[in-house]
């Protein structure tokens, strides 16, 4: 699509800019997608304020770099298309009254930049593992918590410590908070932490629960603290299957918890872990949850990590049949009803051959555990414990978050491994960044190899079959050549 040079480019709301020593990174807060920028592209973005036309942007870049405007314009069209495809920019026919980008950057100045980024100006997201206490012992738990065997100070984060971490992270730029665990309802001060975060200026607080411990009183307290939406994990309505998957839980209590949240005014988004144990139950359950009033259901294929093993992972054919059954179940139902009442979405997600599994940990986010770890995420807990020298960036009991973010040698080394020599000629380098450590260790028994999702490096399954680009990846072993 040709661009009108007299329009005013402006970053879409929810798109955040993070300056690096190699340019910058754009992060779309809602879709959790990002785009690495060269220094020249960063200059362009710095001019996309809604008060400068595309024509003037091209002229400024041409003057700075001594390049003909015609060439700049060709490159600009490609760049703008990439931004629009990601929902990161809009071209306004009107000049906005005030510049939309916060902070002033002189694009005429010249910086010495690196080829690949390793330093990031701001932190965007923090995740607090408030508690590793969980009474449920889910059969597929990737954390495989054994909290009852540990000292309490290592499994429960005191609320005053959580608030200190919130303050320090806010000063570094964080505006999104994820509260994780353990089971959130097992943490006595959840509403206090949420309320403190909003009072400090956090704009988004994301929470999740199994629903089993959600009383109406607890839901009301979370609503009063500022929570307006919550993820609830529920996998089946079959009591026998539920007890097999969550031995210490009750499906009746989980459903009641969902109803308590809805009645308190909290919007509910459901996550379902898809395994061979519950895959037949999902369409009927989602229909019930739709009728109950949840806003969305999302099926995520189990990760063979922690208590889960490969026997739980569905096959490609089972996943195809699941999608067909869900489509038939909702055929005609959503469109007819939602036009006049509310919006409902369902989705089934899984990993695909050749598709990047990029992770923003250490670049946009940090996760903090009760024992003091500042690290990757909750999903990789067992790998973090296995490789602390690689993935524990620091300890908040001994260091400030700023010191860890800017000065940790472990974090610096981790960021540099994102752009490994073997991958530097790949067009997907900045989309993939080497992949997730969990994938590598599950399949290869180490975290040094290229992600097994990569079909450029691993075009074959271990049995010699050629991998289909974009096809379902069910955690099979892979190899480089026949």
Cβ-proximal residues to 143 (8 Å cutoff; 6+ apart), any chain? 132, 306, 378, 379, 381, 382
pLDDT category of residue 482 using cuts at 50, 70 and 90: confident
**Residue closest to 305 by CA, chosen among 182, 202, 187, 439:** 439
**Residue 477 token pair:** 């072993």
What pLDDT digit, counting tens, does each position of 81-132 carry? Answer: 999 999 999 999 999 999 887 656 778 788 899 988 999 999 999 999 999 8
pTM of the complete model: 0.91
Residue 87 DSSP SS3: coil
Asked if pLDDT for residue 364 goes beyond 80, the answer is yes
Q: What angle do CA 257, 135, 437 make, to 5 degrees?
A: 100
What pLDDT digit, counting tens, does each position of 324-335 carry? Answer: 999 999 987 765
**Residue 407 token pair:** 């000065």
Cβ-proximal residues to 210 (8 Å cutoff; 6+ apart), any chain? 136, 138, 183, 232, 233, 234, 246, 249, 254, 257
The three state secondary structure string of 329-395 is HHCCHHHHHHCCCCCCEEEEECCECCCCCCCCECCCEEEECCCCEEECCCCCHHHHHHCHHHHCCEE
What pLDDT digit, counting tens, does each position of 429-477 carry? Answer: 888 888 888 888 888 888 888 889 999 999 999 999 999 999 999 999 9
CA distance 185 to 188: 7
């Amino acid at each position: 699509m040709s661009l009108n040079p007299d329009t005013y480019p402006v970053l879409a709301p929810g798109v955040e800019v993070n300056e690096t020593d190699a340019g910058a990174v754009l992060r779309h807060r809602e879709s959790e997608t990002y785009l690495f920028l060269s220094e020249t592209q960063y200059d362009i973005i710095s001019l996309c304020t809604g008060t400068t036309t595309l024509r003037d942007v091209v002229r400024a870049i041409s003057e700075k770099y001594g390049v003909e405007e015609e060439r700049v314009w060709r490159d600009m069209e490609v760049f703008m298309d990439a931004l629009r495809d990601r929902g990161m920019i809009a071209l306004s026919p009107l000049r906005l009254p005030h510049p939309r980008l916060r902070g002033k950057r002189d694009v005429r100045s010249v910086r010495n930049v690196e080829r690949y980024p390793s330093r990031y100006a701001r932190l965007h997201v923090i995740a607090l593992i408030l508690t590793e206490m969980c009474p449920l012992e889910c059969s597929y738990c990737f954390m495989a918590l054994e909290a009852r065997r540990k000292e309490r100070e290592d499994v429960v984060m005191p609320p005053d410590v959580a608030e200190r971490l919130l303050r320090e992270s806010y000063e570094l730029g964080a505006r999104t908070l994820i509260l994780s665990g353990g089971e959130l309802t097992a943490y006595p001060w959840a509403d206090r932490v949420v309320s403190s975060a909003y009072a400090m200026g956090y704009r988004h607080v994301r929470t999740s629960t199994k629903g089993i411990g959600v009383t109406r009183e607890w839901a009301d307290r979370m609503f009063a603290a500022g929570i307006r939406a919550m993820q609830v994990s529920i996998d089946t309505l079959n009591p026998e299957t539920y007890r097999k998957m969550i031995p210490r839980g009750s499906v009746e209590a989980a459903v009641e918890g969902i109803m308590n949240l809805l009645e308190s005014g909290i919007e509910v988004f459901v996550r379902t872990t898809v395994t061979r144990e519950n895959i037949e139950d999902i369409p009927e359950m989602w229909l019930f949850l739709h009728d109950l009033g949840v806003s969305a259901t999302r099926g995520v294929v189990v990760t063979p990590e922690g208590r889960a093993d490969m026997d739980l992972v569905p096959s490609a054919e089972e996943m195809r049949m699941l999608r067909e059954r869900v489509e038939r179940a909702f055929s005609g139902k959503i469109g007819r009803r939602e036009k006049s009442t509310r919006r409902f979405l369902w989705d089934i997600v899984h990993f695909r051959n050749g598709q990047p599994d990029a992770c923003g940990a250490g670049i946009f986010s940090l996760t903090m555990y009760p024992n003091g770890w500042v690290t990757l995420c909750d999903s990789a807990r067992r790998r973090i414990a296995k490789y602390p020298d690689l993935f524990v960036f620091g300890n908040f009991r001994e260091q400030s978050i700023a010191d860890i973010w800017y000065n940790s040698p472990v974090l610096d080394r981790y960021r540099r491994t994102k752009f490994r020599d073997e991958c530097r000629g790949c067009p997907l380098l900045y989309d993939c960044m080497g992949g997730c450590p969990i994938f590598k260790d599950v399949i290869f028994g180490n975290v040094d190899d290229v992600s097994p999702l990569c079909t450029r490096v691993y075009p074959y399954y271990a049995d010699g079959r050629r991998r289909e680009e974009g096809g379902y990846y069910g955690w099979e072993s892979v190899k480089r050549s026949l």
